[in-house]
Amino acid sequence: MPELTAQVARAVAARGPYPLAMRVRDELGELFADAEFAEAFEAIGRPGWSPGQLALVTVLQFAENLTDRAAVHRVRYGMDLKYALGLELDDPGFDASVLSEFRTRLVKHGMEEKVLDLLLTALKDRGLVQAGGRQRTDSTRVLAAVRDLNRLELAGDTLRATLEALVCAAPDWLAGAAPVREWAERYGPRTHSWHPPPGIAGLR
């Protein structure tokens, strides 16, 4: 953990509710070791992002209903995510496609259960959950929920792009066919800036 990241993040967090991502780091430490995912990643080639860090981002994005692009935005600008991942303050993060590739690798190598099993083990070791409860789920549900959020984002961006094309190609027709100002306010912003309500796409 970079000392400056820890100092700044804790100072910011002291002004409000302590963020979930920071609590995870404080209570569970470095939750996912890279070695746990070694089977899915080559030992040669251009260095990439830590599989353990990507696993943590995946869990946190599921917990907060974030699409890949929204999660990447949080990693780049969110002090709590930099703290949880142990990043320098000026770390630029990564492209959203990295998360998709990470999930694909897990599925390809039959490691869908790995992330949740490691999380549950860490929680049980610290007495935070008990075995045999009704809270058990599986990592495939986590991955499927993230996939559904990304599909929702794609649908929203497709509609926004269509409206932009119609504004250029047939502005007079569009003005009479749709409430342009209302639609611009609703669909103008990039979809990854939205925050879906709890329960969407079966997340709750």
- Cβ-in-10-Å burial (0-12, 13-18, 19+) of 183 comes to middle
State the pLDDT at residue 7: 95
- Which residue blocks in 109-138 are alpha helix, DSSP H? 114-125
Q: What is the spatial distance between Cα 62 and Cα 71, in angstroms, rounded to a whole number?
A: 9
Give the dihedral sign, CA 131/137/142/143: positive
Domain ranges of the chain: 3-133, 140-202
Nearest to 55 by CA among 11, 109, 113: 113
State the pLDDT at residue 73: 93
State the pLDDT at residue 201: 45
State the pLDDT at residue 46: 53
At 51-64, the pLDDT tens digits run 999 999 988 988 88
pTM greater than the 0.75 cutoff = no
Q: How far is CA 119 from the centre of its chain?
A: 16
Is the pLDDT assigned to residue 94 strictly greater than 80?
A: yes
- Residue 10, CA distances (Å) to 80, 87, 157 in order: 9, 14, 36
State the pLDDT at residue 82: 95
